[in-house]
Amino acid sequence: MATGDTVKFISLGGIGSIGKNMNLFEQGDDIMIVDCGLMFPDEEQPGVDLILPDMTYIFDNAERVRGVVLTHGHEDHIGALPYLLEQMALPVWGTGLTLGLVQAKLDEFDIKPGCEFIEIKTHETYQIGSFSFEPIRVNHSIPDAVGLAIYTEQGLIVHGADFKFDQTPTEGLPADFHAFARAGAQDPIALIVDTTNCDEEGTSGSEMRVREALMEIVEEAPGRVIMTTFASNIGRLQLAIDAAAEHGRKVAIVGRSMEKNVRVAAPLGHIEIPEYLRININQIDSYPDDELVILVTGSQGEPLAALSRIARGAHHQIKVHPEDTVVMSSSAIPGNEALIWKTVNGLARQGAHVLYGEGYVHVSGHAKAEEIKLLVNLVRPKCLIPYHGEYRHMLAFQDLAIELGFDKKDVHLLGPGRTLEFTGGIAHPGKSVQAGSVNVDGLGVGDVGDVVLQDRRILAHEGIVMPVIAIKRDTCEMVSEPDIYSRGFVHVQESEEMLDKIKHEVGRTATDVCAEGIDDPEVLYEQLRKRIGGYIERLTGRRPLVLPVMIPIDM
Amino acid sequence: MATGDTVKFISLGGIGSIGKNMNLFEQGDDIMIVDCGLMFPDEEQPGVDLILPDMTYIFDNAERVRGVVLTHGHEDHIGALPYLLEQMALPVWGTGLTLGLVQAKLDEFDIKPGCEFIEIKTHETYQIGSFSFEPIRVNHSIPDAVGLAIYTEQGLIVHGADFKFDQTPTEGLPADFHAFARAGAQDPIALIVDTTNCDEEGTSGSEMRVREALMEIVEEAPGRVIMTTFASNIGRLQLAIDAAAEHGRKVAIVGRSMEKNVRVAAPLGHIEIPEYLRININQIDSYPDDELVILVTGSQGEPLAALSRIARGAHHQIKVHPEDTVVMSSSAIPGNEALIWKTVNGLARQGAHVLYGEGYVHVSGHAKAEEIKLLVNLVRPKCLIPYHGEYRHMLAFQDLAIELGFDKKDVHLLGPGRTLEFTGGIAHPGKSVQAGSVNVDGLGVGDVGDVVLQDRRILAHEGIVMPVIAIKRDTCEMVSEPDIYSRGFVHVQESEEMLDKIKHEVGRTATDVCAEGIDDPEVLYEQLRKRIGGYIERLTGRRPLVLPVMIPIDM
């Protein structure tokens, strides 16, 4: 029975929603951070570039924070780190590729001097304050990913991280089943489990299947092969490069994030692309189509990425040729489906042959139900903490855990800011801490909140109408013709008659208010807002944002 | 060999994209319209309510139009009809339920007097001008759906309509294989084929499977069963009602469109809900949870529909109970995935047990590859016209047709406005006609075009900033303090310093322009727009819409 300090696990970031993964472990005077990710906004957050976890709790406890451990190099695990390191100098532990990807990001930031980057290897143990941890090799859709065995005062906590079990991986070795089994022999107090694909039966499938499919496609394609995948899926890029080498094709890599990742991964040995094989995008027209593989960004249909521009016919260097084969070697992040199909249709309409489909040219990087069960049975922890899934996945995980013989009360579903405290080796809910989201828009962090987003939504749907008048500062008397400015409302040239009507109503409102002897511009503002809003709704059935603009003149 | 008039097939509406289905058949002086549907906007058309097909060609040829035949009652086949009948009186042919659903829509419109509605039955032949047609029973996700055998001067054209083949339907009979076979024996010149699920192998699955699943769920659910499906999926609603009756539960129906469809379908015999079984939403709290089935709208996660409001905790009458079972008896229309999962997560977070999954609580209403092959082999037409699918589906269909022994040139992929002409029984491309989309926003039809949508997109992403000044009408001299209005840009209270800087820059710009002796307000406007836009981008990294507001004052 553990008798040391109380140990706290705090889910600061993304549990309950995919993205911005960030977990804290606390004991005595030490806080250890695992991962520091961001997420990308959905359509209800127009104009927001990035979403960071709210790190107030970390800043408030800065003197106790001993460092950050990173499990792998995906944005939802490392993306917020620069924003943290801008505020405080910390040591950062991660595998070679993960640190390489972090460092490639830091140039654009003004990070505190004194940050230290420590490369970690599996089978080694590292100390962070009073914690120690051992990285455990897992398979995932990026190389050099690890889970963690974390030794605390209360016992061992196993963090499975983002994982799958690939028995025949094409890069590196299968996940370290032995290390998980050894951890399981130490009576761990908790296991943190990736539940992303928890509601899918069977296993996620091996990268070997994708390798075979890509080999065949590249061999048989009558023209160019254009392949997209996540830019960080280095292993998948390698498969395409191998297929190109095997079948006498050159390889061009197009898209900034993909080029950058290859630049980082190559010197570390995670991707191998012989000099003779690689060509520049400007050279592609010098080769016959059936001697080319082109790797492009845009697997999620991102409008500005290479593939989407090709699909729209808007890419300067790559136009679709009728015999092109396009391989969508990826799956949709929920919410991106429509954009992806738009890209596929655009390519198909220009004559490309588009291949897609999970289990064919793609397999997921996240474990499915059978792999999750195996992890749980290997580690045999006292309690389970589902992680990295939507709420529905966590519930599906709870059902699965019950099937595996766990009590429902030993499966802890933790929303952002929720805390689990271990005493006597037993977990129980602790006090929540501040958590949530901070929006990044352009250069600003945190200055775009709910009110601004609400306005953007209305602007997006109905546009804005601005009644404009100049008034005498002291009497609120109108001293100009009323005017109407609008954007996103109606086509101005074709709607002059309607806009004239609204203009007229503005004048009438201002005159009415003045006739009542009111000389308070705020009253006039409210009257204009309400009356013109109501008038427009009766006239058009729409409710644009109505923003009266009044200029006080001294005269 | 056919020797009659040339026959034209015009794809006016949705071929190439799902939605707004509308096809025209022409010979001599006669035009026959098949279906008149609308589509719903995607996220790139913010604020647009509906999208209609551009019917200019029909209006330009009004004197030749003989009427409209409807294949079934889905919005993407009947939704634009009221907008057509507002412009011209026409006879409309359709089955009982289809006409019932049309008539329930027409109340809100001011349709031309003289429209005639003619109920059609299978195995009967109807005359439209020089055309005649016979409806053929098909299975689909709405009852009373038909394909059409259309007799033209050039021979028989078979329109498969939206279809599936259900060997064990739970409503009505299997599709009329015999009628399709009889049509095939008449050497048809073309077959129009629903390609929606063309890229999915096997068959779409029978409604009988869903019946069994729902029976079991309703029997075993510990609390209430809350089920959603498309409001028009009358057959699915019947399955839930049958399960409720079988297992001693009452049924409440919640959501306007669902109530309306039941009201239309019941007197026609397409849905049967005994008086004793049905209760009002206000009565649900008078019954134990395990004696209730609640049917709700919101299968696509529509934010204002009943289920989404329940998921947000914002429904006045229905709060989630911990033992509730929610059945998502539907699939996602591409683009709606994120909203649907948000709904599922919201329900799960409140403790509901949410069931979903095709092949379990849902089967598609559209044929998959094996059914499509059977249709083609039954009808054995000279040429094929894929319909009702995205471009990728049409291409997949082309591959499938080639497997079935067709020449690629006999599969005609027709975008909107494209025409196919039959002479001597042979199809060849004809002259395109005007086609496209007309946006409906609020009460306005067609006044929201690309410019307005472009503005809305910018507004949605970056907001709007308005530098405001009053100027002397004759000299452009500034006669007020410059002011800044903004919406959707930054949180105003927290950004005063920045807004002051921008204000200052406005004043400086106006003074500079004036100092150059410029008295043209348009020059001042352009200068303000450019300089303030650039200044804001340097300051914030954002590019909001900058709209200078200048009020000319006579003084």
* Average pLDDT, rounded, for chain B: 91
Q: Residue B47: which of A17, A391, A460 has the nearest Cβ?
A: A460
Mean pLDDT to the nearest integer, B453-469: 82
Min Cα–Cα distance to chain A from B401, Å: 16
Q: Report residue A331 as tokens.
A: 């799956």
User: Under an 8 A CB cutoff, do B487 and A455 touch?
Assistant: yes
Rounded distance between C-alpha atoms, residue B425 and residue B187, angstroms: 10
User: Under an 8 A CB cutoff, do A541 and B443 touch?
Assistant: yes
Give pLDDT, residue B3. 64
Rounded distance between C-alpha atoms, residue A188 and residue A426, angstroms: 11
Put simply, whether A478 touches B (Cβ < 8 Å) is: no
Between the CA of residue A257 and those of A49, A294, A298, A347, B203, what are the distances in Å? Answer: 16, 15, 10, 22, 41
Rounded distance between C-alpha atoms, residue B138 and residue B178, angstroms: 11
Phi, psi of A341 (to 5 degrees): -65, -30
Between the CA of residue A435 and those of A21, A415, A417, what are the distances in Å? Answer: 12, 9, 5
Measured between beta carbons, which residues in chain A are less than 8 angstroms from residue B17? 345
User: Under an 8 A CB cutoff, do A390 and B555 touch?
Assistant: no
Closest alpha carbon to B130 in B66, B190, B69: B66
Mean pLDDT to the nearest integer, A35-42: 87
Measured between beta carbons, which residues in chain B are less than 8 angstroms from residue A542? 47, 441-444
Give pLDDT, residue B28. 94
Task: For each of the domains in chain A, give its residue range(s) and CATH number, in order of start.
Answer: 7-202+364-445 (3.60.15.10), 207-356 (3.40.50.10710), 463-553 (3.10.20.580)
Q: Residue B349: which of A338, A391, A542 has the nearest Cβ?
A: A391
Give pLDDT, residue B275. 94
Measured between beta carbons, which residues in chain B are less than 8 angstroms from residue A452? 463, 488-491
CA B394, B397, B398, B400: dihedral to nearest 10 degrees? 170
Determine the residue among A353, A456, A474, A499 to mutate to test chain B binding: the one whose Cβ has the most chain B Cβ atoms within 10 Å: A456
Q: Are A495 and A540 within 8 A, CB to CB?
A: no
Give pLDDT, residue B2. 54
pLDDT band at A344 (very low <50, low <70, confident <90, very high): very high
Measured between beta carbons, which residues in chain A are less than 8 angstroms from residue B456? 459-461, 463, 488
By C-alpha distance, the chain B residue nearest A334 is: B338
User: Under an 8 A CB cutoff, do A43 and B43 touch?
Assistant: yes
Rounded distance between C-alpha atoms, residue B382 and residue B395, angstroms: 19
Phi, psi of B421 (to 5 degrees): -110, 135
Measured between beta carbons, which residues in chain A are less than 8 angstroms from residue B303? none
- Summarised one tens digit per residue, pLDDT across range A503-525 is 999 999 888 888 887 778 888 88
Beta bridge partners of B127: B132
pLDDT band at B411 (very low <50, low <70, confident <90, very high): very high
Instruction: Give the SS3 label for residue B228.
Output: strand
From its phi and psi, is residue B399 left (phi > 0), alpha (psi between -120 and 50) or beta? Answer: alpha
User: Under an 8 A CB cutoff, do B463 and A47 touch?
Assistant: yes
User: Under an 8 A CB cutoff, do A541 and B469 touch?
Assistant: no
Put simply, whether B113 touches A (Cβ < 8 Å) is: no
Min Cα–Cα distance to chain B from A396, Å: 9
Beta bridge partners of A546: A465
Rounded distance between C-alpha atoms, residue B470 and residue B522, angstroms: 14
Put simply, whether B313 touches A (Cβ < 8 Å) is: no
Mean pLDDT to the nearest integer, A221-232: 96
- The residue length of chain A stands at 555
Interface of A with B in 22-81 (CB under 8 A): 42-43, 46-47
Q: For residue A371, give the DSSP letter.
A: H
Give pLDDT, residue A389. 86
User: Under an 8 A CB cutoff, do B487 and A46 touch?
Assistant: no
Q: Report residue A184 as tokens.
A: 């399981």
Min Cα–Cα distance to chain A from B118, Å: 33
Measured between beta carbons, which residues in chain B are less than 8 angstroms from residue A395? 348, 353-354
Min Cα–Cα distance to chain A from B452, Å: 4
Put simply, whether B491 touches A (Cβ < 8 Å) is: yes
Q: If you write DSSP's letter for every residue of A171-211 in order, what string do you get?
A: SS----HHHHHHHHTT--SEEEEE-TBTTS-S----HHHHH
pLDDT band at B14 (very low <50, low <70, confident <90, very high): low
CB pairs under 8 A between A and B: 196
Of A447-451, B340-344, B378-382, the poorest mean pLDDT is in: A447-451
Looking at this protein, which amino acid is placed at residue B250?
Answer: K
Q: If you write DSSP's letter for every residue of A209-257 in order, what string do you get?
A: HHHHHHHHHHHH-SS-EEEE--TT-HHHHHHHHHHHHHTT-EEEEESHH
Interface of B with A in 258-277 (CB under 8 A): none
Detail the DSSP E strand segments found in B138-224.
146-152, 155-159, 190-194
The 10 Å CB-count burial string (b at 16+, else e) for B15-46 is: bbbbbbbbbbbbbeebbbbbbbbbbbbbeebb
- Summarised one tens digit per residue, pLDDT across range B283-328 is 999 999 999 999 999 999 998 899 999 999 999 999 999 999 999 9
Measured between beta carbons, which residues in chain B are less than 8 angstroms from residue A351? none
Put simply, whether B354 touches A (Cβ < 8 Å) is: yes
Contacts of B345 (CB under 8 A, 6+ apart): A17, A390, A391, A392, B311
Min Cα–Cα distance to chain B from A498, Å: 11
A127, burial (CB in 10 Å: exposed 0-12, middle 13-18, buried 19+): exposed
pLDDT band at A211 (very low <50, low <70, confident <90, very high): very high
Put simply, whether A517 touches B (Cβ < 8 Å) is: no
Q: Are A144 and A120 within 8 A, CB to CB?
A: no
User: Under an 8 A CB cutoff, do B490 and A463 touch?
Assistant: no
Q: ∠ CA(B308), CA(B311), CA(B314), 5° rounding? A: 80
Mean pLDDT to the nearest integer, B154-160: 97
User: Under an 8 A CB cutoff, do A348 and B392 touch?
Assistant: yes
Give pLDDT, residue A15. 56
Q: Residue A344: which of B392, B470, B490 has the nearest Cβ?
A: B392
Min Cα–Cα distance to chain B from A304, Å: 14
Q: Are B37 and B21 within 8 A, CB to CB?
A: yes
Measured between beta carbons, which residues in chain A are less than 8 angstroms from residue B348? 391-392, 394-395
Measured between beta carbons, which residues in chain A are less than 8 angstroms from residue B491? 447-449, 451-452
Contacts of B269 (CB under 8 A, 6+ apart): none
User: Under an 8 A CB cutoff, do A470 and B47 touch?
Assistant: no
Give pLDDT, residue A108. 82
Q: Are A21 and A51 within 8 A, CB to CB?
A: no
Give pLDDT, residue B319. 96
Min Cα–Cα distance to chain B from A344, Å: 7
Measured between beta carbons, which residues in chain A are less than 8 angstroms from residue B337? 332, 334-335, 337
Give pLDDT, residue A464. 87
Rounded distance between C-alpha atoms, residue A544 and residue A489, angstroms: 7
Give pLDDT, residue A476. 77
User: Under an 8 A CB cutoff, do A390 and B345 touch?
Assistant: yes
By C-alpha distance, the chain A residue nearest B486 is: A547
- The residue length of chain B stands at 555
Give pLDDT, residue B19. 76
Give pLDDT, residue A271. 96
- Summarised one tens digit per residue, pLDDT across range A378-395 is 999 999 999 998 888 988
Measured between beta carbons, which residues in chain A are less than 8 angstroms from residue B460? 46-47, 456-457, 459-460
pLDDT band at B227 (very low <50, low <70, confident <90, very high): very high
Put simply, whether A109 touches B (Cβ < 8 Å) is: no
Rounded distance between C-alpha atoms, residue A196 and residue A367, angstroms: 8
Q: Report residue A102 as tokens.
A: 């972090």
Put simply, whether A479 touches B (Cβ < 8 Å) is: yes
By C-alpha distance, the chain B residue nearest A390 is: B345
Give pLDDT, residue A495. 80
Give the sign of the dihedral formed by CA A427, CA A429, CA A434, CA A437.
positive
- Summarised one tens digit per residue, pLDDT across range B82-140 is 999 999 999 999 999 999 999 999 988 889 999 999 999 999 999 999 999 999 999 99
Measured between beta carbons, which residues in chain B are less than 8 angstroms from residue A334? 337-338, 341
Determine the residue among B49, B197, B345 to mutate to test chain A binding: the one whose Cβ has the most chain A Cβ atoms within 10 Å: B345
Put simply, whether A222 touches B (Cβ < 8 Å) is: no
Mean pLDDT to the nearest integer, B412-419: 91
Give pLDDT, residue B488. 83
Q: Report residue A236 as tokens.
A: 């998948």
Q: Are A9 and A153 within 8 A, CB to CB?
A: no
Between the CA of residue B302 and those of A46, A294, A529, B106, B337, what are the distances in Å? Answer: 18, 39, 29, 24, 11
User: Under an 8 A CB cutoff, do B449 and A491 touch?
Assistant: yes
Give pLDDT, residue A14. 60
- pLDDT above 70 covers a percentage of chain A that reads 97
User: Under an 8 A CB cutoff, do A479 and B345 touch?
Assistant: no
